[in-house]
Amino acid sequence: MPIYKTRPEVTIEAHQWTPVDTFEAGKVLGWLMEQKVHFVLTGCGPDTQLVISTLEGPMTAPPNWWIIKGLIGEFYACDPAAFRAKYFPI
């Protein structure tokens, strides 16, 4: 079976969904609106989840998950542990 490695030095844009911090949550929602990404909020308060449209269909981002804009402009949600394992700030 072929084995692949991710390309080094790939830069992505990402924001962490933190509904408890209304300022940061507003930044994420503004970014998604600016990028014309369809999204829905479910729940309320600190447990508010963000459901975004992705190439594979709706994807739910629970609190503290990362919303990523990929290499070809696609959006998806990423678990915080997986995000930390793969990405670092520049």
Across the range 23-42, mean pLDDT stands at 96
Check pLDDT > 80 for residue 90: yes
Domain parsing of the chain, residue ranges: 13-86
Check pLDDT > 80 for residue 65: yes
How many percent of the chain have pLDDT more than 70?
A: 100
Q: Token pair of 58, please?
A: 């709706």
Nearest to 65 by CA among 54, 89, 53, 49: 49
Q: Which of the two residues, 38 and 45, has the higher pLDDT score?
A: 38
Q: Token pair of 25, please?
A: 């949550």
Average confidence score pLDDT of the chain: 93
CA distance 55 to 24: 25
CA distance 22 to 18: 8
Q: Is the pTM of this model over 0.75?
A: yes
Check pLDDT > 90 for residue 61: yes
CA distance 22 to 24: 6
